[in-house]
A and B are shown apart, each in its own frame.
Chain A
Amino acid sequence: MTTLNSKIPKGPIKDKWTTYKDKIDLVNPANKRNIDVIVVGTGLAGGSASATLAELGYNVKAFAYQDSPRRAHSIAAQGGINAAKNYQGDGDSTYRLFYDTVKGGDYRSREANVHRLAEVSANIIDQCVAQGVPFARDYGGLLDNRSFGGVLVSRTFYAKGQTGQQLLLGAYSAMNRQIGRGKIQMYNRHEMMDVVIVDGKARGIIARNLVTGEIERHSAHAVVIASGGYGNVFFLSTNAMGSNVSAGWKIHKKGAFFANPCYTQIHPTCVPVHGENQSKLTLMSESLRNDGRIWVPAIKEDAEAIRAGKKKANDIAEEDRDYYLERRYPAFGNLVPRDVASRAAKERADAGYGVGHNETGEAVFLDFAAAIQRYGKEQAKIKNLDEKDAVLVTRLGKDVVEAKYGNLFQMYEKIVDENPYETPMMIYPAVHYTMGGVWVDYNLMTTIPGCYCIGEANFSEHGANRLGASALMQGLADGYFVLPYTIGDYLSDDIRTGKIPTDTPEFEQAEKEVKEKIDFFINNNGSKSVDHFHKRLGKIMWNKVGMSRNEKGLKEAIAEIKALREEFWKEVTVPGAADTYNEQLAKAGRVADFLELGELFAKDALERNESCGGHFREESVEEDGPQKGEAKRDDENFAFVSAWEYKGEPSDAVLHKEELEFNDIELKQRSYK
């Protein structure tokens, strides 16, 4: 077995990044002009990396499948971005952010990477403010903060409920400046089809112009993959419709190891599935759990009556309600971390207490009635009004809730057609984020020399569970402050290389393979649509590789996905032509990759016979004591990163282990009781 070299610098954790930066090789400004870098994806990671590399003087070629870099799915992030600024003076520090992130990730992330992330977090906020990102401010004109799950300080910066949008537009504006200067060549509506390896190094990509269907060769001295997460392997997720694993999967097939594919974040508060024709799921921000109380009926007959539409939430008496999070986790109550809250909702629904009156029946209530009364009484006191006037108190309370969560309540009402101020919201967990991804070393380089992977697409910072408001932080840290240093160290060897030619056998071969696959899809003339297969894959994943996993289910999933993949290649139909705008063709390629990833995902989940973070194995639970029934981590046998090497079929993939060392943080069981 090969040992993976994570290239973590030596020395105390506080000094690693600083010492590293002092010692790396640099490229002089005149030489940077002769070096090309390809960036695939223009979300927070890819957008910020493209802009920064271009500012430094490299020639950047950026690729997005959307019609503009501004539409990458980072734009949909709601809550906020963490940074260890300690503006609130509440005891925050770089160390605390580092500690919270490692603990929140259930001790399955790499200490050195997480510490570096915490170190640069404060720079991100400075940078974004300088770009004109309109973060929320208080009346003194200074930046405001709020608190998120799993932490004891207020370190989250936000721009209403649209923090991701504003940060992405900031990165997009930095890109626009460089596009205007000609330092970034932007390829919108382009999809990366494969990576090209020359003499063992990543030297370019094959791309398809999604408007004309043209297959293009693009060369560079390094290739950066920033293509986001792979939650759409479940078909239904909070990801955008086009989000896909293909860029990451293509480099995996050319030698990049894929790490921890089974680490998936299922977010507890999403609008439930309404039926078979549903195309995506919508998130309701974690911040709602600050004020909302989660419950289901305590009596099974009541739950059945609600599902049948014979009773409504407000018909259930207070004493007949089961506030199950408050019951099971008195210390954290409704604010337990995402993985714990999601599993608890599933447990109740599986036991027959779900309340969804949708076609699927799966939902629990998120109730703001108590918060409305509490805020209303407080307001009545402040305004010196009659706090016994029930109508007045309710109105005042609703005003407060509207000011805090108005946009989310409006979004909910549009989707569900119920007024959440009057009746509790119905919510249910949904696939949201993937902590797993392409394996990278401390430099963010994959196991292919010259091929980097940043943002959600890599595996590095969040371990087995990501804390709220940390995804935005990681994307921008990688793109603005980490990659621009680490890539220079690699490119310093390329100052004499000159332009990489594209008329070589390596490019020719890669292009030929891409064209063959496209021809196959167009000429296959099967009987079933691409979506048909994607939906079936999603069902297997959700039922057997979802929130709760066991050996039997995982083995079945592996067999079923393999069979589905074989059927896909026989029966898939792609209408239209190759040399035109053809969304079905683009989708076919993406689903083909999901059908391979899905199997590796299940295999990884089977291999990891412990419960950690978002990965819950039914075989690994606490059997006695106060933690009975809770997830049981196994540090003795599983404190490692699983990095899979491609060998053909997913079943042939070879496991490499990167042992995780915890020198600065003591491993402990997470308890929320």
Chain B
Amino acid sequence: MKLTLKIWRQSGANDKGALVDYQLDGVSPDMSFLEMMDMLNEQIINEGGEPVAFDHDCREGICGMCSMYINGEAHGPDRGVTTCQLHMRMFKDGETIYIEPFRAASFPVIKDLVVDRSAFDRIQHAGGYISVNTSGNTQDANATPISKIDADKAMDAATCIGCGACVATCKNSSAMLFVGAKVSQYALLPQGQVEAADRVLNMVKQMDEEGFGNCTNTGACEVECPKGISLENIARMNREFLKASI
């Protein structure tokens, strides 16, 4: 395959940045999108240029590190996958592909396609945990039965990989799917009840301070989420928030 790539290049947080054109030939449809990027970078290095910076690590769709905005969609045109699992057979020979970073005021660009998602971590510091110390005397794991339905729902919420596709895709740059998933995981489990009120209030407060927008029920986040996190989690967070506020 032969491709024209229009890639966002920005040398640092304070630079303006622009789309730069690249031609790449010999791409195999079996390659992953990031392997195509590796190939481009090898070509750029051999020509004496500076390779395109992008975040990536596990390359099997679970670490949440990769983060490109491809042809106007977070993680590209395929559904239920991260960029690292996107394959070139989704594109046509001769196609032009636009590649940009995840864009949100709370995710400043570090370089090229690399963005700073530490705001997500700070929201978790504010309450994304259950306060239990490590000890060999914690109560037996089977002491409190948990209904399979609740446990499965908690698991579905907990599969969030923290990639930020929800924020990048939302017209309001809202992080409510991300925060809702964590709040829901604990709200659905008995272990999470003790701190439930403080948790939701603190996490939402931090979310607002980081400058993320609000949810207006468009649902784009759910569509683009590589792990299929449901909008239900936002509704549950809103209920938890209301319950804690009155």
* Residue positions of A touching B, CB distance < 8 A: 48, 51-52, 55, 66-68, 70-73, 75-76, 85, 87, 120, 123, 125-132, 134-143, 159-160, 162, 165-166, 169, 172-174, 176-177, 179-180, 186, 188, 211, 238, 240-242, 274-275, 277-280, 282-283, 358, 410-411, 414-415, 417, 480-481, 484, 529, 531, 573, 575-576, 580-581, 583-584
Contacts and interface: CB of A to CB of B under 8 A. Distances in A.
Given A76-B58, A132-B192, A174-B129, A417 B185 contact: no
A132 B186 contact: yes
A120 B135 CA distance: 11
A127 B189 CA distance: 15
8 contacts: A66-B63, A67-B55, A130-B138, A132-B186, A274-B28, A415-B32, A576-B50, A583-B51
B60 interface: yes
Given A278-B31, A279-B34, A411-B85, 9 more contacts: A135-B151, A137-B148, A141-B151, A172-B124, A188-B118, A241-B56, A279-B38, A280-B59, A581-B53
Contacts of B53: 581, 583
Given A142-B142, A160-B155, A240 B134 contact: no
Contact of B141 (A85, A180, A581): A85
Given A130-B139, A575-B51, A581 B114 contact: yes
B128 A174 contact: no
Q: Which 7 residue pairs across A and B have the least CB separation, nearest first?
A: A141-B145, A173-B129, A134-B155, A180-B125, A129-B141, A177-B129, A134-B154
Given A52-B134, A129-B141, A130-B138, A68 B35 contact: no
Given A166-B158, A176-B129, A66 B57 contact: yes
B216 interface: no
B176 interface: no
B136 A575 contact: no
Contacts of A136: 151, 155
Interface in B79-103: 80-81, 85, 87, 89
Interface string B101-124: 000000000110010111011001
Contacts of B39: 277
B233 to A, nearest CB: 14
Contacts of B81: 414
Contact of A414 (B57, B85, B152): B85
A330 B16 CA distance: 66
B118 A75 contact: no
Interface stretch (B40-48, B68-76, B167-175, B207-215): B40-48
A210 to B, nearest CB: 10
B64 A132 contact: no
Given A162-B159, A414-B81, A173 B124 contact: yes
Contacts of A283: 60
B94 to A, nearest CB: 19
Nearest to B63: A71
Given A67-B117, A531-B42, A581-B110, A126 B151 contact: no
Nearest to B126: A180
A277 B28 contact: yes
A544 B225 CA distance: 43
A393 B158 CA distance: 35
Interface of B: 11-12, 28, 30-32, 34-35, 38-39, 42, 45-46, 48-51, 53, 55-65, 78, 80-81, 85, 87, 89, 110-111, 114, 116-118, 120-121, 124-136, 138-142, 145-148, 151-152, 154-155, 158-159, 161-162, 185-186, 189, 191-192
Contacts of B64: 70-71
A238 B62 CA distance: 13
A117 to B, nearest CB: 14
A240 B49 contact: no
A130 B138 CA distance: 7
Interface centre among B49, B58, B64, B185 (most CB of A within 10 A): B58
A127 B138 contact: yes
A68 B191 contact: no
B62 A55 contact: no
B118 A277 contact: no
A130 B132 contact: yes
A411 B59 CA distance: 12
Judged by DSSP, the binding face of B is: loop
Given A68-B117, A279-B38, A162 B62 contact: yes
Contacts of B50: 575-576
Contact of B191 (A67, A129, A481): A129
Contact of B30 (A75, A76, A275): A275
A573 B111 contact: no
A125 B138 CA distance: 10
Contacts of B117: 67-68
A126 B185 contact: no
A169 B158 contact: yes
A357 B108 CA distance: 44
A610 B39 CA distance: 41
Contact of A75 (B58, B125, B140): B58
Contacts of A123: 136, 138
B65 A67 contact: yes
A279 B63 contact: no
Contact of A131 (B126, B127, B191): B191
B131 A177 contact: yes
B57 A55 contact: no
B46 A73 contact: no
A70 to B, nearest CB: 6
Contact of B58 (A73, A141, A160): A73
A535 B156 CA distance: 38
A128 B132 CA distance: 10
Nearest to A476: B134
Given A76-B62, A159-B155, A529 B45 contact: yes
A278 B39 CA distance: 10
A279 B32 contact: yes
A173 B132 CA distance: 10
A166 B34 CA distance: 25
B110 A480 contact: no
Nearest to A584: B51
A140 B151 CA distance: 11
B59 A241 contact: yes
Given A67-B116, A173-B124, A130 B129 contact: no
Nearest to B111: A581
A166 B59 CA distance: 18
A510 to B, nearest CB: 27
Interface centre among B63, B118, B131, B158 (most CB of A within 10 A): B63
Contact of A411 (B61, B78, B155): B61
Contacts of A162: 62, 159
A141 B51 contact: no
Contact of B121 (A48, A68, A275): A68
Given A134-B154, A177-B131, A275-B28, A70 B162 contact: yes
A145 B51 CA distance: 47
A67 B163 CA distance: 11
Contact of A242 (B28, B57, B133, B162): B57
Given A120-B136, A162-B62, A581-B110, A278 B35 contact: yes
Nearest to A211: B110
A581 B141 CA distance: 44
Contacts of B55: 67
Contacts of B34: 279
B79 to A, nearest CB: 10
A127 B134 contact: yes
B225 to A, nearest CB: 15
A171 B126 CA distance: 16
Contacts of A51: 134
Given A51-B134, A70-B162, A126-B139, A529 B58 contact: no
B35 A126 contact: no
Nearest to A48: B134
Contact of A481 (B131, B136, B155, B192): B136
Contacts of A177: 129, 131
Nearest to A181: B125
A1 to B, nearest CB: 39
